[in-house]
Amino acid sequence: PTSRVLAGRHVLVTSGPTHEPIDPVRYIANRSSGAQGTAIAAALASLGARVTFVTGPASVPPPPGTNVVPVETAAQMLDAVRSAMPADAAIMAAAVADWRVVSSSVQKLKKGESGPPTLTLAQNPDILATVAGLGSDRPRLVVGFAAETENVVENARAKRLRKDCDWIVANDVSPSTGIMGGSENAVTLITPQGEETWERMTKEAVAARLAERIATVLS
Ligand code: C5P
């Protein structure tokens, strides 16, 4: 039995994809299953943390013993994250859609004689950067993820600085890795102190190791 080293701490975890509506029946999404975020929330809860789990429409069930806040869009996720503050740490594992459809249709779009519709997209808010920039309300530890398909560590390093988060968990989500939607992950943890590449392991094992590291900062 692990000791409850995170008892009394509040940790926010975002997870899953977001869905950005096109019309009442269609949306833009991505291939995130929510498996890694779910495993992280479960691992933090098992160390005794109070966990707020803000999740988009994931394909795995949310972890028991957490405070689950289901959302659909990036805008809703940002609202839920703001409402969850203050937190001692924020672990932003969600695969937030970068773009939303500017004016999604109230009615289902029809195949018409005018041909296919043109979707105009707008940039979604960056939830991680928003949390990292909170000032006095900023969680003590803000952890982002960088899912990349090329120059993984270089891109992740730049992302850590640009978003002003403390740590970045970088992973290669090229289809050949089987990581996105799969049961294993191979990550590099980037901190101000340095970089560690972990061997490929189950997403639960990555979560347990990350939760232990988070506990060393918060306890
Ligand atoms: O910029 P990119 O999407 O690659 O950054 C990934 C990291 O930023 C993840 O931690 C993700 O949860 C977070 N993110 C966010 N809000 C966005 C885009 C990404 O919180 N709109």
pLDDT digits (tens, 9 = 90+) for 16-27: 999 999 999 999
Q: Which residue(s) pair with 53 in the sheet?
A: 13, 68
pLDDT at 198 over 80: yes
Query: Once rounded to an integer, what is the mean pLDDT over residues 93-111?
Result: 95
Q: Residue 10: pLDDT band by 50, 70, 90 thresholds?
A: very high
pLDDT at 78 over 90: yes
pLDDT at 1 over 60: no
Query: Once rounded to an integer, what is the mean pLDDT over residues 39-54?
Result: 98
> What is residue 180's predicted lDDT score, i.e. its pLDDT?
84
Task: Please say if 124 is a catalytic residue.
Answer: no
Most ligand 1 atoms within 8 A of CB, residue of 12, 100, 126 to mutate:
126
Cβ contact 180:31 at 8 Å = yes
> What is residue 2's predicted lDDT score, i.e. its pLDDT?
65
Most ligand 1 atoms within 8 A of CB, residue of 18, 96, 143, 145 to mutate:
96
- Written as six digits, the tokens of 194 are 């340095």
Q: Residue 74: pLDDT band by 50, 70, 90 thresholds?
A: very high
Q: Which atom of ligand 1 is nearest to the CA of 145?
A: 10
Give the CA angle between residues 34, 52, 16 to the nearest 5°.
15
pLDDT at 3 over 80: yes
Residues 6+ apart with CB under 8 A from 3: 47, 48
pLDDT at 40 over 80: yes
pLDDT at 134 over 80: yes
C-alpha atoms less than 13 angstroms from C-alpha of 201 in its C-beta half-sphere: 13
Extract long-range pairs of 67-76: CB within 8 Å, 24+ residues apart. Answer: 71/18, 72/18, 72/19, 72/21, 73/18, 73/19, 73/20, 73/21, 73/97, 73/100, 74/18, 74/20, 74/100, 74/124, 74/125, 74/127, 75/100, 75/124, 75/125, 76/18
What is the pLDDT of the chain when averaged over all its residues? 95
> pLDDT > 90: what percent of the chain?
90
- Written as six digits, the tokens of 1 are 């039995």
> pLDDT > 70: what percent of the chain?
99
Q: Residue 112: pLDDT band by 50, 70, 90 thresholds?
A: confident
Q: Which atom of ligand 1 is nearest to the CA of 155?
A: 4
Give the CA angle between residues 181, 182, 188 to the nearest 5°.
100
Among 14-23, 55-64, 173-182, 196-205, the range scoring the smallest mean pLDDT is 173-182
Cβ contact 94:127 at 8 Å = yes
Q: Cα(126) to centroid of ligand 1, in Å? A: 6
pLDDT at 106 over 80: yes
pLDDT at 209 over 70: yes
